[in-house]
Structure 1
Amino acid sequence: MTAPVRRSRVTDAASVSAAVADGMTVGIGGFINSGHPMTLVRQLITDGKRDLVVVGAASSGLEVDLLIAAGCVAKVVSPYVGAEGFAGIGPAFRKAAQDGSIETFELDEAHFYAGLRASAQRLPFNPWRAGVGTSIPVVNPAIKEFRDPINDELLLAVPAIDIDVCLLHAATSDEFGNVQHNGTRYGDTAMSAASDKTFVSVERICSTEQVRANPLATSIAGADGVVRAPFGAHPFSADGFYVPDADHIKTYLVAADTWLRTDDREPLEEYLDRYVRGVVHADYLDRIGHPALLGLNEF
């Protein structure tokens, strides 16, 4: 009998994007200004994906806002979309929600994780106590009050958040998709568990021996694909590598805020043309500039 051969999971951003069809539910990991798979997000925009249901992080950042600004999103499932320290609410998210061009799924962080947990357990919903007696089931009728059959207690049924494709960014992976995060991992592992497929951009590909040297650090075992993308979370931070690029984040916010306040998309279109549409990762880094990138040291 021939011994099985392990298959490399190393791929590229275009191949990951090809796994995302219009109308799919796409989870995007990270947390506010940290750890978002921006190389993969920009590829979705370049490829003109449409009508996506975007499941952001428990506290999403401007990666979701950028997808909305580019016209890729039909619905957002996240308790928050913003840029802590830069903008209270994402400008494109706010404008699209106000205009009714996107649907929002209202829930808090506890309900968000309850929904992911239900999906991971292949259940239709997860029971939750917090929020009983509030207006949450009124604001979001998908979250329903019910009486549990054991204690006859009034609870909330939080529907499963089922994700077709999950996109994450992490520190390292070996070629077989054994991913290791630095730091907290945010909610990435919960999002991956709720997803049919998981693709991860990483700062570097490491040897399997390095993964085996510290197996407890492995956060996601056997991702469906890994993409080598140094500075792949830019303009946001990557734990252990670089801090957020405040100047670049502000450049985007000025353009998106102009659209929000004046309905003028010209600055936003200029930003998308320069930094996103049709711009491969190496060219993106070149446009940011090596002095700016090398100045983003954590210490």
Structure 2
Amino acid sequence: MKRGTTLVAGQVVGQLFLIAVIPLLTRIFSPAEMGVYQIALAIALILQPLATLKIEAHIPAAPNSATVRAYNRRAGLAVALTCMVGVGAAATLFAVDSNYSEHLLLASLLLGAFAWMALDTALLIRSGELLRLTIRHLLAGLFTALLQLVAAVTIGEIWSLAFALLLGRTLAIILTRSRANNDGVGAASITLRSARDTGAAVGGSMAINLSNQAPVLYLAGMFGATAAGHLGIADRVAATPINLVGRSLAQFVQSSLAPFVRERKFGLFGASSNSHS
């Protein structure tokens, strides 16, 4: 349980770096500008399961490294295509002088950051490298906070905050990349899910995320970006502790159970399954 406590602490401290710079950012950017960022953040969180096709849920139980790499390639392609579509749509809207182009650009940058982080978390969970995962949480929070502050001071455009988040998480992922890539033997063996199963998994996750982000989007539609900005920042600060504890404990449990799922141990699959206990 000590590893779980360490993981929780890493998540919390990493997020505290981001919370610490909020008072500074809100003095550089107007409430309306912060509202645009919060709206884009909500959109990115809702779309993240679609971008990865929920493949991150299958990586921890993958039987061997070849399968992990195959999953990762498939998810990487899905993320790249989704973000490219978002950027293309933003460029198109900008060309016709639409007010929503900035929302889509920010959402695309944030979506790439969230999706890549989810996939990297799945890789670290699969390899059981919780210390590396803890360090990555710390570095991601620290790098992002520093880069957002620098971007706000030097660039002064709201899109720079999303780019800083993407860059900060990218640096943290690169520096803590998993080295455990030679476990297991055999060729890639990906279980192909039907379109209905994939749609159900993605749709269910998106519905949950939508329910969490609905207040921000509702206020944006009813009262504008300024109201959405106030609510989004307040919710981010107030809900962070409990959200991080729950997420960290879930990652710890998943890391503990993943080896048993891969090796079909302890009767997890019924009496007919092989048991190694």
- Whose strand fraction is larger, Structure 1's or Structure 2's? 1
TM-score scaled by length of structure 1: 0.25
- Whose helix fraction is larger, Structure 1's or Structure 2's? 2
TM-score scaled by length of structure 2: 0.27
Question: Greater relative contact order: 1 or 2 (C-alpha under 8 angstroms, separation 6 or more)?
Answer: 2
